[in-house]
Amino acid sequence: MIGRLAALLVCLAAPVAACEVPNSLVTLRAELLALTNIEREAAGAAPLRRDLRLEAAAQTQACRVAERQSLSHRGSWFAGLGRRLRREDYPYAMAAENLADGHLGATTVTQGWMESPAHRANLLDRRATEAGFGAAMGQNGRLHWSMILAAPQED
């Protein structure tokens, strides 16, 4: 038992490979927010505001997806979206997440989300007031995307 615990601690202490983010990440985030708000406006939903905590959670998830080469809404230690938002100190009334991979830019990933009924519903959810976006390059050369939409919990 002690040997297994020691092995686990060694694994936890091992360095994690750095996440490769696109050089244009700042621009991509601005484009994603603008494109999302265009779609929301067309559907009669209020525009979203950028939130740095949501952005941090989205970037963490994009990196996890790129690292694993697998689209999953679970992060490290099987942390779901709620746990990741609490880790970023974001108390939320509602939250949703869209993931994607392989799209080359903000326009194509937004189109992909709009063509998927579940992703479209998240993107147009009228309860959402804030958003954060992340993107990371996988070892296979594909971009992995994360969008988190949320509404903060009222005090």
User: pLDDT digit string (tens) for 113-142?
Assistant: 999 999 999 999 999 999 999 999 888 888
Q: What is the pTM of this model?
A: 0.81
Residue 1 lies in a domain: no
Does residue 10 fall inside a structural domain?
A: no
Domain count, the chain: 1
In a domain, 63, yes or no: yes
- Indicate the pLDDT class of residue 8, thresholds 50, 70 and 90: very low
Is 6 domain-assigned? no
Q: Give the residue numbers spanning the domain of 43.
A: 24-152
The answer to the question of residue 7 being in a domain is no
Q: 133 lies in a domain? A: yes
Which residues have a Cβ under 8 Å from the Cβ of 145 and sit 6 or more positions away? 62, 98, 99, 100, 101, 103, 109, 133, 134, 135
